[in-house]
Structure 1
């Protein structure tokens, strides 16, 4: 982790370009390392995943449920009403900041045990898009403010990753943002949604340490679900499933290298048509 940050700090940017980057991104109190990281991530372009694929595929399949490219930890399409199938859009915030030792860290939450879905699980701040949201970044920052009191003005969105598909058929867009002033962030938890907030080193999601995996199969396609054990001074957390998959991808993009283990993501194609008999249980 230190090596990548050192490398980022030595990126030769023209003075005018660097100044423009800092000015446009409003990196008040942000280090040059974070500025360089923001510059790097703005150049990232995720593979195309056009929205029209969804609607076109539904039309071509005669209204049947169609699987999408994604990373379902246990994707369960709603086959009872295939004519109403259309994944709802959601966004999560991968909020990065520089730790005391110079490492990149990401903000995570533990969901309230009272929630009807994913109760008690570790998650990234985020949720479903609402009508007033301008884009995915707006959705992710709004949800982060509602859940943990993170002021949107403290976060600079630098890029988005390709969408993931949750087991509840949410089309989840990961949004990478940089927290330029970590001291200004004073968490205020919404007890109805969040039990705890903590942070973890981003690079851990590329390492094979404290990690386990479970192989699953759907429609003849085998894929792996990853589990990461993480312990703070006071608590132990298990980060797995969709959240782990998103963080593996984010870490790969940030550090520009693959994980030290086999990801084996599912290779579900839009052309795969699901009927009631083929829904994974």
Structure 2
């Protein structure tokens, strides 16, 4: 992901830049020749999705967006475009990802950021008629960024990708519904027979030094292209696509998304704003009010962790 820093005073969220889009989206599925009933339902659910009002305030310099670009396959199913990051990049080289990057000074909305990055990385036009907006999802937490997914639908199948080789090695697609399943959407290749399509790993997560450790679950999905060097869909990218598919198809995955007793994403973001140096410095520089973050994290002005202790007591009681 890429971006530049502004010398102007940053505008924290909420503000014009990151107001979640709430337009009346009227998706005419009749204009799509082949579309399964499941796909119609998915597109309508996404187009009708209203992002929950965010209580937290975010520093603009730590915000990023990714584009979840969907398209309809030959049999009417929905697919998402994925890219293989260039092997020459300094970070996350060769990873499977969604096009995206940090907010730039000229971006007027988080949708602008996602569309600009997709245009720069894979040549996807910013034309909102050919690639209409479906919805904007709630924020996700990366190591040093708060990332917001923007979901669009590619209507013009004549569009030809134009890859920025400095950032993207290749482009491929994956069925969106497969992020709700443990069954692979592709025939098993000899090299992948011993591997499960979906796996997860629970990591110990401490939001600050000395804090009680919680569990954080990271999911992984094979792409069926591992023999060619393509990595699985993992971590943050997998989490965003699980969420997109859950909203769209209106059902929960066949696996448990979160580890037992794990904190909510909102809590994790609040802790990051309060304890991770890169966020703390950005909030201080941009004058971000962290009062709500402290309340969500269960911290008073002296840094006590009331909510954490209460959750610990609840977990102990539930085991008795």
TM-score scaled by structure 1?
A: 0.71
Give the aligned partner of residue 50 of structure 2. 45
Q: Secondary structure at the match of 1:155?
A: coil
Distance 1:271 1:193, change over 3 A: closer
* Structure 1 Cα separation of the partners of residues 120 and 55 of structure 2: 29
Give the aligned partner of residue 196 of structure 1. 170
Q: 1:116 aligns with which of 66, 81, 90?
A: 90
Give the aligned partner of residue 233 of structure 2. 239
* Structure 2 Cα separation of the partners of residues 159 and 129 of structure 1: 18
**Is 1:92 paired with 2:66?**
yes
Cα distance, 1:40 vs structure 2? 3.1
- The Cα RMSD (Å) is 2.7
Give the aligned partner of residue 247 of structure 2. 253
For structure 1, the residue ranges without an aligned partner over 5 or more in a row are 1-19, 56-85, 277-281
Distance 1:120 1:271, change over 3 A: closer
Cα distance, 1:117 vs structure 2? 1.3
Alpha carbons 2:78, 2:177 under 8 Å: kept: yes
TM-score scaled by structure 2?
A: 0.63
Q: 1:156 aligns with which of 118, 132, 143?
A: 132
For structure 2, the residue ranges without an aligned partner over 5 or more in a row are 1-24, 184-196, 207-212, 278-320
Alpha carbons 2:71, 2:155 under 8 Å: kept: yes
Deviations 1:97-133 (A, max 9, x none): 1101111000010000111111110000111111111
Give the aligned partner of residue 256 of structure 2. 262
* Structure 2 Cα separation of the partners of residues 112 and 242 of structure 1: 18
Give the aligned partner of residue 218 of structure 1. 205
Greater per-residue strand proportion = 1
**Is 1:227 paired with 2:220?**
yes
* Structure 2 Cα separation of the partners of residues 36 and 197 of structure 1: 27
